[in-house]
Amino acid sequence: MSARPPFPGQQPAPLLAPAKKIIAIASGKGGVGKSTVAANLAVALAKAGHKVGLLDADIYGPNAPIMLGAEDYAPVNNKLPPAHVHGIELFSMGFIVRPDQAIIWRGPMLDKAIRQFVTDVAWGDLDVMLIDMPPGTGDAQLAVSQSFALTGAVIVTLPQVVSQADARRGLEGFREMQVPILGVIENMSYMLMPDGSKIDVFGHGGGKQLARDAGVEFLGEVPLDPQVRIGGDGGVPVVVSQPETAVALSFEALARAVYDRADTEPADGPVTISEI
């Protein structure tokens, strides 16, 4: 298997493929709902019959254990078993470090840690792995792009202009690393009121605009719904706790859209250092 360009001074390492499809859920912007989208898409894909792994690659602020009700999970042996929650396999830095412990790592250390999430974790025979990315376009994005045979990246944005700008930077970061962009998801698109009307809390249409500007597919919208936050804080994603709600159905439709896009995305060609 080919390798993407390494950090300066490093030898390229072979790309890891812990699942048939590996999809990064990312954004240049913090707090737009990457972890929420990743958790709900992962569980929705499992409900649809796929074998799903979720890797929480936000090593500085791992949120997936709380969002999926696995914060008490503590793997013991050397070949770390992932947690099994809501029909998916989950691994997170949060299983290894205490909540009151800070993690300060430079690029190469981060690179090593990210690779250990595959080499040291006893993942099952996965159809699809989603990777919940930390915000930004820094070392973690590089490490994940250089370590995994990514099928592609899904970019999450809020509708407003400032979020679009940061999400665009995240998108272009993956492009620079030769990672295909599967599409854009607009989160917190609108709030559905009890009378059926909609309020555009953060504006509307920014996700579509970003997709158009970047020349990628717009995958769909997720409404703003307090049940999403309650589900995240309570460890039961809304696709499990309130499966009939509009927001849960939007996650299920998005899971299908993301999976279909990953199915049609041609495999990445070999990349050599001379190409960049």
Ligand X SMILES: Nc1ncnc2c1ncn2[C@@H]1O[C@H](COP(=O)(O)OP(=O)(O)OP(=O)(O)O)[C@@H](O)[C@H]1O
Contact segment (CB under 6 A) with ligand X among 34-42, 100-108, 116-124, 211-219 equals 34-42
Q: Looking at the DSSP assignment, which residues form a beta bridge with residue 90?
A: 54, 83
For ligand X, the closer CB: 61 or 270: 61
Binding flag, residue 36, ligand X (CB under 6 A): yes
d(CA 120, CA 240): 29
Interface with ligand X in residues 165-184 (CB under 6 A): none
Q: Does 221 interact with ligand X (rule: CB under 6 A)?
A: no
Other Cβ atoms within 10 Å of 212 Cβ, number:
12
Is position 34 an interface residue for Mg ion (rule: CB under 5 A)?
yes
Residue 211, both tokens: 């997709």
- Tokens representing residue 255 in the block: 């899971």
Task: Answer yes or no whether residue 51 interacts with ligand X by CB under 6 A.
Answer: no
Q: Of 198 and 229, which has the nearer Cβ to ligand X?
A: 229
By CB under 6 A, name the one of 207, 232, 235, 237 that touches ligand X: 232
Of 70, 114, 210, 222, the residue at the interface with ligand X (CB under 6 A) is 222
Of the listed pieces 8-16, 82-90, 217-225, 256-264, which binds ligand X according to CB under 6 A? 217-225
Which amino acid, 121?
V
- 164 near ligand X, rule: CB under 6 A: no
- The four Cα atoms 217, 223, 227, 230 give a dihedral, to 10 degrees, of 60
> Judged by CB under 6 A, does residue 82 bind ligand X?
no
Q: Which residues pair with 132 in a beta bridge?
A: 25, 56
Classify burial at 266, counting beta carbons within 10 Å of its beta carbon; exposed 0-12, middle 13-18, buried 19 or more: exposed
Interface residue with Mg ion among 18, 24, 25, 35 (CB under 5 A) is: 35
Q: Is the dihedral of CA 173, 174, 175, 177 positive or negative?
A: positive
Contact track, Mg ion, 52-91, x by CB under 5 A: -----------x----------------------------
Residue 188 interacts with ligand X (CB under 6 A)?
yes
| Nearer residue to Mg ion within complex by CB, 22 or 32 | 32
Which long-range CB contacts under 8 A does 266-269 form with residues at least 24 apart?
A: 266/180, 268/2, 268/149, 268/150, 268/178, 268/179, 268/180, 269/2
Positions that interact with ligand X (CB under 6 A): 30-36, 58, 61, 63, 134-135, 187-188, 222, 224-225, 228-229, 232
| Chain residues in the site for Mg ion (CB under 5 A) | 34-35, 63
